[in-house]
Amino acid sequence: MASAPSYLQSLNTQQRLSVESAHKYTQILAGPGSGKTRVLTSRVAYLLQVANCNPRDLIVATFTNKAANEIKQRIHTLLGNEKSSKIISGTFHSIAYKYLSVYGKHIGLAPKWLVADRSDAKAIVKRLLATLKKAENSLASGIRGQELTPENVLTRISKMKSSGLLAKANSPELILLRGMDAPPPELQSYQSTELYKLYQTTLRKNNLMDFDDLLLHFILLLQTYPSCIANIKHILIDEFQDTSRIQYYLLKLLAQKDTAITIVGDPDQSIYGFRSAEIENLNRMTKDFKGTQVLNLEMNYRSAYSILELAFSIISQDKARPQKGLKSDFFMSLMPSYREFETNQKESYWTACEIKRIVECCPRLFTYDDFAILVRSSSLTRSLEHALTELGVSYRMVGVHKFFDREEVRDVVAYAKVIANRDPTSLIRIINTPTRNIGKTKVDRLLEESERRNLPLWQILVKVSENNILLSQRQDKSFLKSVKNFIDLIERLDRESHDKQKSVSDLISSVLREIKYYDFLRKKNPETYDEKWDNVMELVQQSDVLAEQEEVGLLEEGPQETSLQKFLGHVTLASNDKEEEKSSKVTISTLHAAKGLEWPVVFLPCVCENIIPHSRSEDVDEERRLLYVGVTRAQALLYISSFKNSVGSYNDNENFSSKQDISSFLRSYETRKYLSERDIIFNNQLASEISIILNRKEYGTVQNVSIQEISDRPNKTYQDEKSSTEKPAFVCSRSLAEKELQKRARDQEFMEVPDEPLNKENTLKRKGNFDIREFFSKKEDPQLTSDVGKTRFLHQQGKQTLLTDGSNNKLHGISVKDIGNRKIPRRTVSNEKSSMFTKASSLSSPNVSERPMCSLHNEGTEQSRNIETSEMESPNGSTSKNPLQSSQGPRKKRLGVRLRASRML
């Protein structure tokens, strides 16, 4: 009997059941970090290798192009390129594009159609609104009182299309696709309908489709010509909880020929309701496809168990969710940290300081690339960016700059679109780029003439060049010459694009050379032209790769596309994905953009009521799922924080109440018990636990750095400090201190503590210049602890004594130099209360505040008391007044407490 393939042997029981499922319809509900991509990839490999399916008979639909490429790459690794290259995979939109490119003739699509991206669509709507402002008709008068922008008009049209409303060619009315439910009344108003028809007419006139049109026309194709998918035997869909109603209807059409379905999703991570995603699709599937098998993947391979406990307590507040749990093999004694601050500025500054402190404490375990700050909306990043900049911490903003959205890249792509099919939106962009004496006034006249004569802009331009149209009584000869030269340029490049000996990179190079684009960039952007030119060269280098359309298993041959058309199709689809930068920087991202990603350390600031859940959100359950997604991005360390008072507004358009309260998702006792308000203390034990979770073999020596030290030197980097030639001071370790305290407990019953503040002078010179390294020279220990702000070394008759202030149950290493370089007030606790770095405020529950919430809490150990509090607990359990509070007595007081190692740990 042949052994199972290696990719099956490495799966756990539930994963393998999912991969080998013999059910026709299978739902795999995969929690965060449960290996859903691995399961989906293994399922595809199993169908091809074990079930002997033809790769041309499989459709694999994903939510992003990145996910599609990752799945294809993994299948290629498992089975080789011969099979993986023939699978029909991609997003719903890219799959629709592939089928429409071949079978579009069956539903009346004209050849050489292109996809209008979001920027093109906005430009079209902007021109429509500008035209309507000057018009005198019922539609124009109906929208004048409304604050319409291209963005909200496109959003409204997109919702209409997502509801199944289609504007068919040569039809004055909108039609509802067969099988779709009627859209809500607000999407059927006169203004919405007329704007939709005007927009669609403009697209059709210029042989364009937007992204929503791809899905609508794909549905029309499957209804009209279902034989185009007669070969499809299996459909696999990733991130099913993020599918819209129109995408679910597509699934039903794709599966109409007795096709098997496997979907992977997680209802707890459905957070794209604003994109028309419907979590109800999971329930619809079990009703529409009888006998659907539901399998749960509950083993999490990403996060520590303490993080999952918090995540589960948050998501379990939704009583209507499917009952499923989370498990983890990663134990860590550390609980997620919660802090509350007076203002959002203090919260941001503490966040930046803590990130820098962690890197300095564990320089071989963490880099800035391991950190993410996840916020509810991008408007919350201003103070965070300022704090990180002040401390010299590099950061990246995820999704802010997409490659294909960069101005210089869009210019080159616009030239390619004009060459391919005289796209009017792109034509407006490049007609005077670089400058060629065709300014905005003349372009407006050309557009007016195009509207008046109902002709494409390119035809108007040609007629102007032939003197068949006069834009003014006296035609400007230089303008006329510029128009003729421009038309000659485009037509010459068009002929070159049909030369099979010429590649797309050759064509783009010709464009750049003809228009002298390098000189244009250098003149327009003297400071940044080299970076912009690098982006153009990157596009040139990638153009031939993008033009190589992959072979797909369709049943018919479509019309022959030029390499330029293939290139433009792939560019438009690729521009919908986010660019991924690689550098050692802290990531600042919104919670939505962070979905599917993970980081060793995650900070969730601004977890306040009216922020999350957002005050304008209509779905509180989706807001809860959004916080759940944020929590489950963390692998090892998780910080959650909030603030009481906001200082100023977050941006010009969004003001929150000046008084804030912690998010309602974190108020319940069942959730609060999984949060710690203690400072996280780094030592070798914690570093070892983290290294296991992150699968990092070495974590090096844990340094001793306090957050106060970071704050005191905001612009001093750790690398600068490391470059110092001074030898590092000896650092006392926990085990060493324990042994020494046990020895002293036997040798003496009481010890004396000086009542005056410690500083460099009285520390090093009192009782002689004593060096702690001489005292412990034979007792060095590799296990080091790090929070220097919690430990004191006191000199007493030529010896040193280690004390704690009772705020945690660990001993902490500190050097003599650390003490000498800063003044430690006698009333440390009361002074800390006024500091922004004080322990976070209690969560209002007496039970929680009394419970030891130390992240490194060890059962069976007794928490030490602060020697400076008003009362102290004696060994027999009774309390006595702290002699340091007395106003009488000698300068040196005697502590009525035995020093016992068991009470210090």
Biggest CA–CA distance in the chain, Å, is 111
**Distances from the Cα of 693 to the Cα of 275, 610, 688, angstroms:** 34, 34, 9
The reply to whether omega before 526 is within 30° of 0 (cis) is: no
Q: Is 813 labeled as ligand-binding?
A: no
Q: Is 605 labeled as ligand-binding?
A: no
Q: Is 613 labeled as ligand-binding?
A: no
**Distances from the Cα of 133 to the Cα of 125, 203, 442, 829, angstroms:** 12, 20, 20, 67
CA 710 to chain centre: 27
Q: Is 589 helix (H, G, I), strand (E, B) or coil?
A: strand
The token pair that represents 875 in the structure block: 């060994």
Pairing of strands 260-265, 25-30: parallel
- Backbone phi, then psi, for 129, in 5-degree steps? -65, -40
- DSSP secondary structure string, 481-505? HHHHHHHHHHHHHHHHHT-TTS-HH
Q: Which residues pair with 638 in a beta bridge?
A: 602
**Distances from the Cα of 427 to the Cα of 146, 207, 672, 714, angstroms:** 30, 14, 58, 50
Question: Which residue, chain included where needed, has tokens 């010299």?
Answer: 392
- DSSP secondary structure string, 218-283? HHHHHHH-GGGGTT--EEEESSGGG-BHHHHHHHHHHTTTT-EEEEEE-GGG---GGGTB-TTHHH
Rounded Cα distance, 591 and 269, in Å: 11
**Distances from the Cα of 498 to the Cα of 5, 101, 185, 414, 667, angstroms:** 47, 18, 49, 18, 66
Q: Which residues contact 727 (CB under 8 A, 6 or more apart)?
A: none
- DSSP secondary structure string, 361-398? HSTTT--GGGEEEEESSGGG-HHHHHHHHHTT--EEET
Element (H or E) spanning 803, and its range? Answer: strand 799-804
Q: How large is the angle between the packed helices 190-205 and 118-134, nearest 10 degrees?
A: 120
Rounded Cα distance, 806 and 794, in Å: 16
Q: Is 31 labeled as ligand-binding?
A: yes
The residue type at 678: R
Q: How large is the angle between the packed helices 344-361 and 382-390, nearest 10 degrees?
A: 40
Q: Which of 579, 605, 575, 583 is nearest to 593 (CA)?
A: 579
Q: Is 32 labeled as ligand-binding?
A: yes
CA 645 to chain centre: 27
For residue 646, the 8-state DSSP code is -
Q: Is 35 labeled as ligand-binding?
A: yes
Tally of CB atoms within 10 A around 888: 6
User: Could you tell me if residue 392 is left (phi over 0), alpha (psi between -120 and 50 degrees) or otherwise beta?
Assistant: left
- DSSP secondary structure string, 740-789? HHHHHHHH-S--EE--SPB-HHHHHHTTS---HHHHTTT---S-BB--GG
The reply to whether omega before 434 is within 30° of 0 (cis) is: yes
Q: Which of 425, 398, 431, 415 is nearest to 536 (CA)?
A: 415
Q: Is 304 labeled as ligand-binding?
A: no
The token pair that represents 711 in the structure block: 């704050």
The token pair that represents 414 in the structure block: 């616009």
Question: Which residue, chain included where needed, has tokens 């003014």?
Answer: 472
Q: Which residues contact 113 (CB under 8 A, 6 or more apart)?
A: 104, 207, 208, 209, 421
- For the chain, what is the radius of gyration of the CA atoms? 34
Q: Is 34 labeled as ligand-binding?
A: yes
Binding residues: 30-37
Annotated binding site for ATP: 30-37
